[in-house]
Chains A and B, each alone.
Chain A
Amino acid sequence: MTEVIVWSGWIGGLAVGLYAIFQWLISGNALGVSTGFGNVCSYFSRAAFFHEGEYATANNWRLWFLIGLPLGGLLAALTSPGEIVASFSLGQMYDSVLPQALWAKGLVLIFGGLLIGYGARAAGGCTSGHSIAGLAMLNPPSVLASAGFFVGGILMVQFLFRLFA
């Protein structure tokens, strides 16, 4: 697995916070990622949901932002001292609790992704929209959603590591 450089938490948070402000100032759009996954669905689905409201136009900034994110990851990996290693490993901790066989691990991760995708739309946003942009605006629903994210995360990981570690 690729080892990347990691800054201390508060410097990382400083950079994330400054980025959110930068995006507001340049474009007027609040930071957000998960809505963009629906933009992609607009190209494949005729369901009304993906063609009205915030999905009236599929090809907007959200789509391009989504494409930019992996480029940032590649850049971060290239500028880290180690070599880039393509791997299905989830690191020492997750590999100790998830199934070894790739197909089974894949099924677990698809299920995890399903919860993330469905949950983000039901909550109206993800960790970017609610926990970075929303908390910065001190928006009460976003505070509530962020608390919900952590409750779910704690429940799942405590369950995983108590049962399978």
Chain B
Amino acid sequence: MKKYAFLLFGAVFGFILSRAGATTYDFYAKLFLFEHFQLLWVIVTAAAIGAIGVALLKTIKARSFFESQSIAFKGKPYKSSLVPGSILFGLGWGLAGACPGTALVMLGEGKLGVLFTLTGIFLGTYLYGLQQSRLQRAAQTSRATQSARETEMKLNE
């Protein structure tokens, strides 16, 4: 049932993103042309407030309301595709003037260009998943071949 609360949380976060200017296309162009730093201020302030909040919650070993256990605060891991991936993301971010969250919020505001952008985001996510599934299968197959070969060599000895 707890997951349904996120319908409301999404609406709250979406409303905040809109008021923060993150659903206004012009702010993206102006940010990356160094003309207006609305969105930089949003990120910097959010990160600072967030860092203070996280430090505070960690100190008091806060438990979450839903899980009634200490909040994990587990950072995302590094992987070799992180840097190229983040640059690809940035190229798309600058081209479409939206990110995954704000594109959805913009849809609610009647900014219909995001219908294309959202289609692209789903396609990109799907392509990544497809590619990862193929790579994984190829790795499994090569492992299987390897172990079959080793067994064969042992039998021949």
Q: Which residue of A lies closest to B54 (CB)?
A: A136
* Chain B 22-43 near chain A by CB (<8 Å), digits 1 or 0: 1111101111110001111111
Q: Nearest chain A CB to B90's CB is how many angstroms away?
A: 2
Let me know if A109 and B117 touch, CB within 8 A: yes
Chain A CB within 8 A of B154 CB: no
Task: Say whether B122 contacts A148, CB under 8 Å.
Answer: no
Does chain A have a CB within 8 A of B144?
A: no
CB of B145 within 8 Å of the partner chain: no
Chain A interface residue number, banded: 35 or more
Bound CA–CA A159/B27 (angstroms): 17
Q: Which of B15, B22, B71 is close to A24, meaning CB atoms less than 8 Å apart?
A: B71
A8 to nearest B CB, angstroms?
8
Instruction: Report B86-108 residues with CB < 8 Å from chain A CB.
Output: 86-101, 103-108
The answer to whether A26 and B66 touch across the interface, beta carbons within 8 angstroms, is yes
Please tell me if the beta carbons of A69 and B10 are within 8 angstroms of each other in the complex.
yes
Question: B108 to A61, Cβ gap below 8 A?
Answer: no
Q: Are A69 and B99 in contact (CB under 8 A)?
A: no
Enumerate chain A residues within 8 angstroms of B125, measured Cβ to Cβ.
Answer: 34, 37-38, 41, 117-118, 120-121
* B25: min CB distance to chain A, Å: 4
A90 touches B99 (CB 8 A): no
Most buried by A among B17, B78, B85: B85
A113 adjacent to B120 (CB under 8 Å): yes
* Neighbouring A residues of B6 by C-beta, 8 Å: 27, 61-62, 64-65, 68
Chain A residues whose C-beta falls within 8 Å of the C-beta of B156 in the assembled complex: none
Q: Which residue of B lies closest to A18 (CB)?
A: B49
Instruction: Report the separation of the CA atoms of residues A67 and B118 in the bound assembly, to the nearest whole angstrom.
Output: 13
Interface SS, B side: helix
Bound-state CA distance A142–B127 (Å) is 23
A127–B54 CB distance below 8 A? no
Chain A residues lying within 8 Å of B76, measured Cβ to Cβ, are 124-125, 129-130, 134, 139, 141-142, 145
**A76 / chain B contacts, CB cutoff of 8 Å:** 14-15, 18-19, 23, 105, 108-109
Q: How far is the CB of B92 from chain A (nearest CB, A)?
A: 3
Given known contacts A63-B3, A112-B120, A148-B87, A122 and B82 CB-to-CB distance under 8 angstroms: yes
| B10/A28 in contact, CB under 8 A | no
Which of B53, B64, B104, B128 is in CB contact (< 8 Å) with A66?
Answer: B104
Q: Are A40 and B122 in contact (CB under 8 A)?
A: yes
Q: Contact string, A49-77, partner B, CB cutoff 8 A, digits 1/0?
A: 11000000001111111111111111111
Residue of B15, B78, B121 touching A144 (CB-CB under 8 A): B78
B interface residues, Cβ below 8 angstroms from A: 2-26, 28-33, 37-51, 53-54, 57, 62, 64-67, 69, 71-79, 81-101, 103-114, 116-130, 132-133, 136-137
Can you identify 20 A-B contacts, CB atoms within 8 angstroms? A9-B39, A10-B42, A17-B46, A37-B125, A45-B129, A49-B129, A66-B10, A68-B6, A68-B14, A69-B11, A76-B105, A105-B116, A111-B95, A116-B121, A118-B124, A122-B85, A122-B89, A136-B53, A152-B89, A161-B33
